Amino acid sequence: MEKETLRKHSYVQWLMGCQKIPGKVRKRILELYPEPEELFQVPRERWEELLTEYQLGVIWKRLRETECHEKMQEEYERLRRKGILFVALGDDDYPARLAEIPDPPLGLYYRGRLPEEETMCVAVIGSRDCSEYGSRVARELGSYLGEAGIPVISGMARGIDGISQQAALEAGGESYGVLGCGVDVCYPASNQRLYDTLMERGGILSAYPPGTPPLKTNFPPRNRIVSGLALAIVVVEAAVKSGTSITVSMALDQGREVYACPGRITDRLSDGCNRMIKQGAAIYLDPESFVEELAETYFLQRISPDVKNRGKKPKAEPKLSEELLEVWRALDLTPRSVEEIRGRLPSGIDAKSCSIRLMELVLNGKAKQVSAGYFCRT
């Protein structure tokens, strides 16, 4: 590895290792100092100036309490000798799909390998305390994806996550586990066999430094990586209030396709999935039709608009005022947040105006509000 890359990685790892700094504060200081090396070299006098201006100077002591630069590089080399690799945001081998999400991790520690850039990855998630029905669906889906050569992304948790990943591996496929702890920590311990196989037939990934324990607060941020690496997310079983719902919210923010497996209305583990379907999620019925739809989505994302629309008649636009038509054009069949819709508009309008126009479209029957703050075309 080039010395310059090693130097860059050691500074990124240093900043990622400052766990006591809140994520929002870390994001703000990176707006001021985009390069971690530049941040490392900020003199105390400058932090004292920033104390009043940005209320960030308080973290100076925490940052500088870490090891000196030489120790940082020694630690980096020690991890490499243990088979723990690292990729930083901006590197050529950083997963391109993950780099596009609103809040990509500064870097990823991994054992094994990273998902290939042009691969159709699918995230399979669900309840830890799954039913026999959920277990069967997860096993069937994981096995089919494995045979089809489509990697399964999940959190290596017990229940739906681990079952789908194990099935994919047993079918000869590959899978990647994203952890809420260090990549050198097998969590849960009962999935040691799966952990070992993932390193051989896929990879173990984490945005947390090696040795980090599986703290409860680590898992919600971890979920954005699970969905961020995938082209689509399939929820097999989930209660209404669960970590799965957090992942789905992040997936929608990232523009990912969300599928939910329907269940009986008397089963509490199906309440979350049934509600997602009611709010606009696609229905997962069988692996064959799911993969067919996934392949079409994957293909359409990679061809130019002129090829994509070749031979199609132009769709007639609804009779609306120019202001409403502008917002309507920014919608599609995928539910999107107000902020995401605003970002698609050619002219800048504030969130309040955008929300008002969206509600007018809903009243006109030209749009649908699938959940709080999320809209799509009818």
Tell me: do 19 and 140 sit in the same domain.
no
Which CATH number goes with the domain that contains 126?
Answer: 3.40.50.450
Residue 109 lies in a domain: no
Q: 89 burial class (0-12, 13-18, 19+ CB within 10 angstroms)?
A: middle
Residue 306 lies in a domain: no
pLDDT at residue 12 in the model = 86
Residue pair 184/84 in contact by the 8 Å Cβ criterion: yes
Give the dihedral of Cα atoms 237, 240, 244, 249; nearest 10 deg.
130
Which CATH number goes with the domain that contains 341?
Answer: 1.10.10.10
Q: 107 burial class (0-12, 13-18, 19+ CB within 10 angstroms)?
A: buried
Report CA-CA distances (Å) from 169 to 138, 192, 203, 368.
13, 14, 12, 40
Tell me: do 294 and 327 sit in the same domain.
no
Residue 305 lies in a domain: no
Other C-beta atoms closer than 10 Å to the C-beta of 257 total 20
Tell me: do 276 and 176 sit in the same domain.
yes
Domains in the chain, number? 3
Residue 370 lies in a domain: yes
Tell me: do 159 and 278 sit in the same domain.
yes
pLDDT at residue 316 in the model = 67
Tell me: do 327 and 259 sit in the same domain.
no
User: Which among 81, 110, 144 is the end of a domain?
Assistant: 81
Residue with tokens 């009611």: 278
DSSP character for 310? T
Say how far apart CA 145 and CA 174 lie, in whole Å: 9
Tell me: do 130 and 247 sit in the same domain.
yes
Tell me: do 286 and 326 sit in the same domain.
no
User: Which among 300, 331, 348 is the end of a domain?
Assistant: 300
Residue 113 lies in a domain: no
Residue pair 271/240 in contact by the 8 Å Cβ criterion: yes
Residue 13 lies in a domain: yes
Say how far apart CA 25 and CA 121 lie, in whole Å: 32
Per DSSP, the residues of 53-83 read HHS-GGGHHHHHTS--HHHHHHHHHHHHHTT
CA neighbours closer than 13 Å in the CB half-sphere of residue 295: 10
Tell me: do 77 and 128 sit in the same domain.
no
Residue pair 133/164 in contact by the 8 Å Cβ criterion: no
Residue 105 lies in a domain: no
pLDDT at residue 28 in the model = 74
Tell me: do 349 and 207 sit in the same domain.
no
The per-residue pLDDT for range 317-370, each reduced to its tens digit, is 888 998 899 999 888 767 788 888 998 887 778 888 999 999 999 988 899 887
Residue numbers of the domain that contains 339: 322-377
- Predicted model pTM: 0.75
Tell me: do 59 and 189 sit in the same domain.
no
Segment (H or E) for 87: strand 85-88
Say how far apart CA 302 and CA 280 lie, in whole Å: 25
pLDDT at residue 41 in the model = 79
- Which ranges of the chain have pLDDT less than 50? 304-314
Tell me: do 151 and 53 sit in the same domain.
no
Residue 310 lies in a domain: no
Say how far apart CA 266 and CA 259 lie, in whole Å: 20
Residue pair 376/330 in contact by the 8 Å Cβ criterion: no
Tell me: do 267 and 326 sit in the same domain.
no
